Amino acid sequence: MSNLEDDLDLDALLSTNHRALLLQVLSTLTGVNVELVEHADEASSPLVFNLETLAWLKAELPEAHRQAAVQLFELIMFYAGKYHLAANLHLDVTETSYIELQKQHVALQESKMRYKKLSEKLQERIDEQVKVIERAQRQLYEDARLRAIGQLAAGVAHEINTPVGYIGSNLRVASDYLRDIATNLDDGNNLETVLEDFRELLDESRSGVQRIANIVSDLRIFANIDQAEFANCELNVLLKTACHLLQAEHYQKLAIVQHLNELPKLDCYPAKLSQAFYNVLDNAAKAIGDDGVIHVESRLCGDVIEVVIGDDGCGMSQDTMARVFDPFFTTRSIGMGTGLGLSVVRDIISVHQGEIRLKSHPGQGTRVTLLFKVS
């Protein structure tokens, strides 16, 4: 490191001006001419700094006097040298520190870039994970829907089974009666009772067939088989269907009281709204247990359709209410609820620019109000 060079020359130690001034002072003091020369002669003595002879001081003086002048000159050079060496070292250390700081700065910048990239990567991975979770959520909901449809199918099968059972048995008996009629026609016996019974059988069978037809019709409405995805339809019809299907699933044992007032038709997604009504009704059915009552009410208030589904079941605490719309939040044991029911209801209602209101207290039942604006 060149700055640490400690062999300073005369110019570095004392400027020309100061040198001239010093020589002038010495000349005045000694009364003879004092000067610096580059080569020794008999009237000169060496000027030494750090063992290095820098010049010769020439003066026609007795040896002792010239030596005193040299000592004074050397003393001044010594102190000048101290300053210069310290300054050089300081400069050197400062430069080195600055270079190191710059290196550290570059390293910091690089590390900052690395972290930035890392954070971007992390964000990407979070986004991916969110997509995965959303896919899983939809998958779960699909599964839940399939399971619900399975339960529905079981209810429907049970419902259809009864009328089909007695229709089949009636038709068998009817065949027997026909055979009896055929034989008895000959001997003129009294056929009054047989014919009476036969008529009853046929009436009952017709009513059974009607019941089957109704169930199938309900299913068609619920599954939106006949209608366009987006249609102008009667909410009361959807409500009734949902009630029927719920009853079918609960073996007709639920107490459902309906007060359905006349409503204007609403532009809506019927299958989705049916699903929403069914989900709310299903919650009510689960809340009341065996001996509660579900009230279903619809009415028009101004240009708003109000659908109220209330129950006198177990109700909810404030904490539960705060979370019921969160996906996957459920108070039911594992396998009994997906925790998606009300979050799906909320999604469906928001698609219809509707509003959902919830009122509940533990032990006092729950009241769900769905509001739809008629355009």
Partner 1 sequence: MSEYKKNANKLIIKVVYYGPALSGKTTNLAQLYAQLRPQRKGELMVLESGDDRTLFFDMLPIGLRSNDGLDLRVKIYTVPGQIKHDSTRKALLSRVDGVVFVADSQIDQQDNNAVAFSDLADNLTKVGLDIERLPLTVQFNKRDHQDAMEKATLHEKWAETPWTPLTFASALRGEGVVESFRQLLARLYPVVNEEFNLSTRHALDSQEFVRQLSAVEEARHE
* Smaller CB separation from partner 1, 20 or 86: 86
Nearest distance, CB of residue 79 and partner 1, angstroms = 10
Nearest distance, CB of residue 4 and partner 1, angstroms = 6
Helix (H, G, I), strand (E, B) or coil at 201: helix
Task: DSSP for 254-276, please give it.
Answer: -EEEEEE-----EEE-HHHHHHH
Nearest distance, CB of residue 136 and partner 1, angstroms = 55
Burial class (CB in 10 A: 0-12, 13-18, 19+), 273: buried
Nearest distance, CB of residue 13 and partner 1, angstroms = 13
Report how far apart, in Å, the C-alpha atoms of 242 and of each of 141, 148, 192, 215 are.
19, 13, 44, 11
Nearest distance, CB of residue 30 and partner 1, angstroms = 24
Nearest distance, CB of residue 8 and partner 1, angstroms = 12
CB 74 within 8 A of CB 48: yes
**Which residues of this protein are in contact with partner 1, per CB under 8 A?**
1, 4, 6, 48-51, 78, 81-82, 85-86, 89-90, 92-93, 96-97
* Smaller CB separation from partner 1, 1 or 126: 1
Distance CA 144, CA 338 (A): 7
| Displacement of CA 61 from its chain's centroid (Å) | 98
* Smaller CB separation from partner 1, 93 or 133: 93
* Smaller CB separation from partner 1, 83 or 328: 83
Report how far apart, in Å, the C-alpha atoms of 115 and of each of 121, 126, 152, 199 are.
10, 16, 54, 87
* Smaller CB separation from partner 1, 91 or 154: 91
Task: DSSP for 135-177, please give it.
Answer: HHHHHHHHHHHHHHHHHHHHHHHHHHHHHHHHHHHHHHHHHHH
Distance CA 188, CA 170 (A): 25
Distance CA 321, CA 264 (A): 31
CA angle 323, 325, 328 (to 5 degrees): 85
Which amino acid would we find at residue 296? V
* Smaller CB separation from partner 1, 98 or 251: 98
* Smaller CB separation from partner 1, 6 or 134: 6
In the numeric block, which tokens belong to residue 104?
A: 């550290």
Nearest distance, CB of residue 78 and partner 1, angstroms = 6
Distance CA 224, CA 306 (A): 22
Distance CA 265, CA 115 (A): 58
* Smaller CB separation from partner 1, 70 or 156: 70
* Smaller CB separation from partner 1, 89 or 212: 89
Nearest distance, CB of residue 53 and partner 1, angstroms = 11
Closest CA to 346 of 281, 239, 287, 272: 272
Nearest distance, CB of residue 18 and partner 1, angstroms = 20
